[in-house]
Structure 1
Amino acid sequence: MTLLVVSNVGKAYRTYRSEWQRMARWFYMPIKATEEHWVLKHISFSLGAGEAIGLVGQNGAGKSTLLKMITGTLQPSEGKVQVNGRIAAILELGMGFNPELTGRQNVYHAAGLMGFNVGEINGAIDDIEAFAEIGEYFDHAVRTYSSGMQMRVAFSVATAFRPEILIIDEALSVGDSYFQHKSFGRIKEYQKAGTTLLIVSHDRGSIQALCSRAILLDGGTIIKDGPPEEVMDYYNAIIAQKENSVVEVNTLADGGRQTKSGSGKASIESVTLYNTEGAPVEYIAVGEDVCLTIKVKINVQLPELVVGYVIKDRLGQDVFGTNTHHLKCVRTDLQEGESLSYEFRFPAALGVGSYSVAVALHATDSHIADNYEWRDLALLFNVVNMSKGSFVGLAWIPPTVECK
């Protein structure tokens, strides 16, 4: 069942010579605006029951404007939004809470605006208070709350009744780690029960953990819609993109989509994983000592080169990453035509599964500053358990145990 359909939606902000002309436009009179600025243009997508979509993009891409049109607090200038179900949305911190009212009073007010009657709210108020976990502050004025406390109450009331569609706009980034884990638990519980999720976040981990699909907005239009890992890789490349940079997406032999970006001032020639005998490997044992070798070609004279890598799990979530800046091994004054080989040695203390390696060549401590080349899925390898005891998880952290 399709719960949300966004069809060719656009939003323009217009300036008129007078307020009378603006009012005349409300009645469809042919009045031309003196200025017209389109924030969104030609936005189309749909959401099915139980689907989870991440909406990503840089600040100013139009994400919040799109959510406001979906929730009905803003009308589109063109196109149509069709919603088939009840929406619960946390678009702004506090959900319009009155700072002079208590948390409890604001819950009744907010839930009432969501369409619930007093009897329904009475039946849920104890659960809302318990989930928020702010103690006696629940009956204190909201103006005395920290931003994290406001978030706790806002999320608790927005999710007190399972909605057909749950929309969250970066709100959970305000909460503490404990409440974030608790909130994600409720979100996943609702997902299993059929709630559709639309989440806006810059947190790659959240998008890939919760979503089966991601949409990338840039310049007010959708430029990518697909698997979260692929979209987030492309988003990462867009962030690092500079005037002389390029972004490429290539299809690998196994069907995976590899994103490559950078200015090309330096390039990755090869990425290989070797065992202790110096043989290239695709399968390694849990805890086995390995050497990740990255060969680099310098294409123009460079004042500095930093080489980094990130190991990712099969969902594209970061497992471990570092670079030569943090390892105190930065090369400077490099000449055109030089070739370098970097060897990173470590024990593969990883859980059983498939992994990928992303590699970056850049200046300073981050590829955001001057991205020479960033390559996702530069290497794929598998970890198997050949000699260790049974365990689960992404990391092999063998303990000792003592019972007293």
Structure 2
Amino acid sequence: MSDTLLSVRNLGKAYRDYGSEWRRFASWLGVAVSVRSEQWVLRGLSFDVAPGESIGIVGQNGAGKSTLLKLITGTMRASEGSVRVGGRIAAILELGMGFDPDLTGRENVYHAAGLMGFARAAISAAMTDIESFAEIGEYFDEPVRTYSSGMQMRVAFSVATAFRPDILIVDEALSVGDAYFQHKCFKRIREFREQGTTLLIVSHDSSAVQSLCDRALLLENGNLVKDGEPAAVMDLYNALIAERENSSVSVTSHASGREQTISGTGEARVEDVVLLNTQGEPVEFVDVGQPVTLRIRVAAHADIPRLVLGYMIKDRLGQAVFGTNTHHTHQELEEVRPGQRIEFRINFPMNFGPGSYSISTALVSTETHLVNNYEWRDLALVFNVSNLSRQVFVGSAWVPPQIEVASA
């Protein structure tokens, strides 16, 4: 099998104003005509995707994510560059795209699956499973115009995944579903991944990207600004979201081998982060359930009307395990002056499963880093948890049970 299932080369999409439909038509025929104006929404994208690889596509609204997916699926024509696909694609893009509102869910399944290239007999054979997976009851035989957005998504996902594709493309459509059906969808996506399906998923959910994906692509203003390990890409994405006029973003190599992202205005900075045991000694290895103190020292470099410290503990995949801030604990600081130094001591039991963890810190003015981002620091500290004294268990949390056993 080839090492590349999907190849994108110098891909770009521009919306052009030709001044008249005749001039636009002439351009389609290859006639050289001038354009009144053009706006590039995507340009210069190049990347390869291997069979079975899972790729997350992230970026702010308007970055070009949905346009990229439409170019890959062929529902939109590129202005320059090329897309080469070595297998069958199933895509869930705009909600209900391709559905006829006057047809029933069942009739739309025949229509949509037929457009995907499947014979009516094959669709009929899969219909019971499609109807069962969608779980919309008698509405399956009612017109789609009577559906809620969640019901449309249920049918769209069910028909798109009724036959395992070589490439499954999922846009933000899943975000409209209820929590139960989202779990059901992600379970099917993981099953497809285990069977060798390549996944391209657009999501603002960092946990979904980091748990499902091998790589992530970050788009910004129609350009590919980073292609790499999901945790590092999501760190840079969060930093770009928080970037303001006087803030900066830096990405450097961390001692752990991962990339560290630091962003913010610099009006306050974390100077030191350390994990202490009960004797006050710095530790890098911690026993499950061991009491620890997270000590964070901060220096102010400007007048700060309100200062909030936030921290997030992440697992090795960059997924959040626990986080809070001093806004939520009602311990924010008022009128912090230049040169002032503050020490925060956070005491908690290390009730996590064995593994490697990191701590990110945020110095902000409210409960979010999207207002005043003085500093956002990923990989501020890396430590390891080992099970040295507890009963054997699996998982990311130490939740010791009391099990009672009695004859029924």
- TM-score for both structures, normalised by structure 2: 0.98
For 1:350, the equivalent position in structure 2 comes to 352
Cα separation, 1, equivalents of 2:102 and 2:30: 41
For residue 181 of structure 1, the aligned residue among 180, 183, 200 is 183
Map 1:127-138 to 2 at 5 A: 127-138=129-140
What amino acid does structure 2 have at the position aligned with 1:158? A
Aligned-partner SS, 1:148 = helix
For residue 211 of structure 2, the aligned residue among 200, 209, 212 is 209
Aligned-partner SS, 2:180 = helix
What amino acid does structure 2 have at the position aligned with 1:93? L
Contact 1:104–1:138 (CA<8 Å) still a contact in 2? Answer: yes
Deviation for aligned residue 1:135? 1.5
Deviation for aligned residue 1:23? 1.1
Cα separation, 2, equivalents of 1:148 and 1:34: 42
For 1:24, the equivalent position in structure 2 comes to 26
For 2:397, the equivalent position in structure 1 comes to 395
Per-residue deviation, residues 24-56 of structure 1 (Å, max 9, x unmatched): 111121211011111111011111110000000
Per-residue deviation, residues 50-74 of structure 1 (Å, max 9, x unmatched): 0000000000001111111111111
Deviation for aligned residue 1:371? 0.4
Cα separation, 2, equivalents of 1:190 and 1:209: 14
Aligned-partner SS, 1:185 = helix
For 2:193, the equivalent position in structure 1 comes to 191
Contact 2:256–2:382 (CA<8 Å) still a contact in 1? Answer: no
For residue 218 of structure 1, the aligned residue among 207, 220, 232 is 220
For 1:381, the equivalent position in structure 2 comes to 383
Deviation for aligned residue 1:173? 1.1
Deviation for aligned residue 1:402? 2.1
Aligned-partner SS, 2:241 = helix
- Mark the runs of 5 or more structure 1 residues left unpaired by the alignment: none
For 2:371, the equivalent position in structure 1 comes to 369
Which is further off, 183-192 or 261-270?
183-192
Contact 2:5–2:50 (CA<8 Å) still a contact in 1? Answer: yes
What amino acid does structure 2 have at the position aligned with 1:259? T
For 2:251, the equivalent position in structure 1 comes to 249
Aligned-partner SS, 1:178 = helix
Map 1:111-150 to 2 at 5 A: 111-150=113-152
What amino acid does structure 2 have at the position aligned with 1:79? G
What amino acid does structure 2 have at the position aligned with 1:234? L
In the comparison of the two structures, how many residue pairs are matched?
404
Cα separation, 1, equivalents of 2:104 and 2:255: 59
Aligned-partner SS, 2:82 = strand
Contact 1:7–1:44 (CA<8 Å) still a contact in 2? Answer: yes
Deviation for aligned residue 1:100? 1.6
Deviation for aligned residue 1:20? 1.1
Contact 1:95–1:110 (CA<8 Å) still a contact in 2? Answer: no
Deviation for aligned residue 1:95? 2.9
Cα separation, 2, equivalents of 1:175 and 1:6: 31
Aligned-partner SS, 2:5 = strand
Aligned-partner SS, 1:291 = strand
Deviation for aligned residue 1:96? 2.2
For 1:302, the equivalent position in structure 2 comes to 304
Deviation for aligned residue 1:389? 1.1
Contact 1:41–1:220 (CA<8 Å) still a contact in 2? Answer: yes
CA RMSD of aligned residues (A): 0.9
Map 1:31-70 to 2 at 5 A: 31-70=33-72
Cα separation, 2, equivalents of 1:50 and 1:17: 45
Which is further off, 50-59 or 28-37?
28-37
For 1:275, the equivalent position in structure 2 comes to 277
Alignment of 1:110 onto 2:112 = yes
Aligned-partner SS, 1:349 = coil
What amino acid does structure 2 have at the position aligned with 1:105? E
For 2:11, the equivalent position in structure 1 comes to 9
Alignment of 1:77 onto 2:72 = no
Aligned-partner SS, 1:386 = coil
What amino acid does structure 2 have at the position aligned with 1:86? R
What amino acid does structure 2 have at the position aligned with 1:101? L
Cα separation, 1, equivalents of 2:97 and 2:28: 28
Which is further off, 98-107 or 263-272?
98-107
What amino acid does structure 2 have at the position aligned with 1:56? V
For 1:156, the equivalent position in structure 2 comes to 158
Cα separation, 2, equivalents of 1:271 and 1:288: 18
Aligned-partner SS, 1:238 = helix
Aligned-partner SS, 2:348 = strand
Cα separation, 2, equivalents of 1:183 and 1:74: 26
Deviation for aligned residue 1:253? 2.3
Per-residue deviation, residues 240-259 of structure 1 (Å, max 9, x unmatched): 00011111111122321111
Aligned-partner SS, 1:366 = coil
Per-residue deviation, residues 75-132 of structure 1 (Å, max 9, x unmatched): 1101111111111000011132112211111101100111111011011101111111
- TM-score for both structures, normalised by structure 1: 0.99
- Report percent identity of matched pairs: 61
Per-residue deviation, residues 190-217 of structure 1 (Å, max 9, x unmatched): 1121111000000000101110000000
